[in-house]
Amino acid sequence: TTKNGIVKIDDVIKYLEITDQSFLNTLFEYKMPMLSFGINYDGLNKDKIFVQETILYKDNNNVINVRFDLSRINYFYWKENITQSKKEKKILNKFFSILKKFKYEFYLEEGDILIHKNKRTLHDRSECNFLLNKDGTLNTREIFVSFVNR
């Protein structure tokens, strides 16, 4: 069974507006490097995708969104063989300590559906259970993604 976590970014923003406006500003200003080769690990397209963007940003409608992928940040430093700055490590550590305050955790069972807006939430999950079928194929959860514009 996989434990899933969701953080609504509005909860984080409201909290920081009251407790630490300076750190909230940092999330809008400090650009994090993120690297991947292709959108999905098993996709056919392996083009390099590098972005260096802030964790929080406002879209064209002035709505605050979040852009954050720790695995892609870590992959950047591993692939480039460079050390992450202490400043960046401190930003990430503080960010994670705040996220823990607002994280909802739950388990999804077979047939459950989780719908969330990717640009307005952060999400994670514990390690998945993988079952090996007699024919050698894997039996695990499936993730179907659909992108919808309003």
Which pLDDT belongs to residue 43? 60
Residues of the chain with pLDDT under 70: 1-2, 38-44, 110, 124-150
Which pLDDT belongs to residue 4? 77
The DSSP symbol for 44 reads: S
Which pLDDT belongs to residue 150? 47
Which pLDDT belongs to residue 56? 95
pLDDT digits (tens, 9 = 90+) for 109-118: 767 777 777 7
**Structure tokens belonging to residue 113:** 């559906």
pLDDT digits (tens, 9 = 90+) for 128-149: 555 555 666 655 555 444 444 4
Which pLDDT belongs to residue 53? 93
Q: What is the pTM of this model?
A: 0.77
Which pLDDT belongs to residue 31? 97
Which pLDDT belongs to residue 20? 98
Q: Is 145 exposed, middle or buried (0-12, 13-18, 19+ CB in 10 A)?
A: exposed
Which pLDDT belongs to residue 126? 59
- Start-to-end C-alpha separation, the chain: 33
Task: Give the span between the Cα atoms of 31 and 54, in whole angstroms.
Answer: 4
Which pLDDT belongs to residue 138? 53
Question: Is the distance from CB of 9 to CB of 96 less than 8 angstroms?
Answer: no
